[in-house]
Amino acid sequence: MASMASLSASYPKYTSNFPTRYTHLLYDLCLVPRNPPLMKKGSFSDLTIVRSSNQTESMIDSTDKLSDIPLLSCLEAIEKLKRNRENNKGNQQYLAMYSSIFGGIVTEEAAMVIPMDDHMVHRGHGVFDTAIIANRHLYELDQHVDRIVKSATMAKIILPFDPGPGDFQLSPSGCHQPALYAIVIEDKSLFDSKGIKVVTSSIPMKPPQFATMKSVNYLPNALSKMEAEEKGAYAAIWLDDDGFVAEGPSMNVAFITKEKEMLMPKFDKILNGCTAKRVFTLAEGLVREGKLRGIRVDNVSVDEGKSADEMMLIGSGVLVRPVIQWDEQVIGDGKEGPITQTLLNFILEDMKSGPSSVRVPVPY
């Protein structure tokens, strides 16, 4: 989701307070006129001059022209959106989007948009969740719906909608058109189960009140992921205020101890992972077979985590991904752990032939 800012301008105020080394940026953004005498007027309406895409150059006084940014019609904007989507194809293809604002489903990517004054966009007041569609079934739909309901309650959002569009104020009281959006994404990335490296995050994690809800406020998560990539790692691991292992930027963390016990941090300060809980359920089979001694949710120290035989990340985006190095510490023998691989196979099989409690048929 693109970041945005609400701007109000008084030009004398900007020139007196804005660092001079950045004024060229304001010129390029048309926030400050290049003609200094205009500064005395102090009127945004007097100073903002744009050229419509169908206007000729002669229609504008060159001495007053502040920008060559065109004023687009709605149709012209839509055409540019279409060309932009066509020229920016990645590993994800957006198949369809439902919008309560439209009151229907669209399949044209250029039409998959959210109003800029939606309280979710400019204030981060929204919640979301993600479920996998595999083999014509939605995986763990009920579990994800339960979680988004809990998140919405914590965020004071009345389901099934977020506050929706209305204005750019901090309070949602002016948002009188609640909104719900749903999108179907086909990820064409190749599935990878190779062992990865993680690092300890220096980005402060969210306090429990916000970490335990799945809101659209993912700036700390994004910065944590970026930090990991800058250090040549896949993800960064957060520690809580007491120094215990918490979670990754979008996944849970679990360990197999030297005593063959599966160990995961408590959920009281982190997001309640749907995939992680399902993995725990499936891992009970390994306990019955004697391959695991037990399963435990508890505080996990960094030393305990780094000295484990196996480490894994668990989430709907990675399923079960083996970790072979944390910071400078090699995990176990430095290879993908056998129990981690078994749990991944369990999840993959569960997505294909699991019980109806985790698989909801989707006709398409």
Quickly state the pLDDT bin for 227 (edges 50, 70, 90): very high
Decide if pLDDT at 62 tops 80: no
Decide: 346 and 278 in contact? Cβ < 8 Å: no
Mean pLDDT of 148-161: 89
Long-range (24+ apart) CB contacts under 8 A made by 314-317 are 314/251, 314/252, 314/253, 314/254, 314/273, 314/275, 314/276, 314/279, 315/248, 315/250, 315/251, 315/252, 315/273, 315/275, 315/276, 316/130, 316/131, 316/132, 316/274, 316/275, 317/130, 317/250, 317/251
CA–CA separation, 364 and 361 (whole Å): 10
CA–CA separation, 338 and 138 (whole Å): 28
In the prediction, which pLDDT does 65 show?
Answer: 54
Residue 92: exposure state from Cβ atoms within 10 A (0-12, 13-18, ≥19): exposed
In the prediction, which pLDDT does 10 show?
Answer: 28
Decide: 101 and 165 in contact? Cβ < 8 Å: yes
Decide if pLDDT at 39 tops 60: no
330: left (phi over 0), alpha (psi -120 to 50) or beta: beta
pLDDT digits (tens, 9 = 90+) for 268-306: 999 999 999 999 999 999 999 999 999 999 999 999 999
Which residues are identified as catalytic? Answer: 214
CA–CA separation, 17 and 11 (whole Å): 10
What is the pTM assigned to this prediction? 0.79
Using alpha carbons only, what angle is made at residue 114 by residues 210 and 131, rounded to the nearest 5 degrees? 55
Instruction: Please count the CA atoms within 13 angstroms of the CA of 317 that sit on its side-chain side.
Output: 11
pLDDT digits (tens, 9 = 90+) for 161-184: 778 898 899 998 888 888 999 999
CA–CA separation, 269 and 243 (whole Å): 12
CA–CA separation, 24 and 32 (whole Å): 9
Decide if pLDDT at 50 tops 80: no
Q: Which domains does the chain have, with CATH numbers?
A: 11-71 (no CATH), 89-187 (3.30.470.10), 196-353 (3.20.10.10)
- Among the ranges 9-18, 59-68, 244-253, which has the highest mean pLDDT value? 244-253
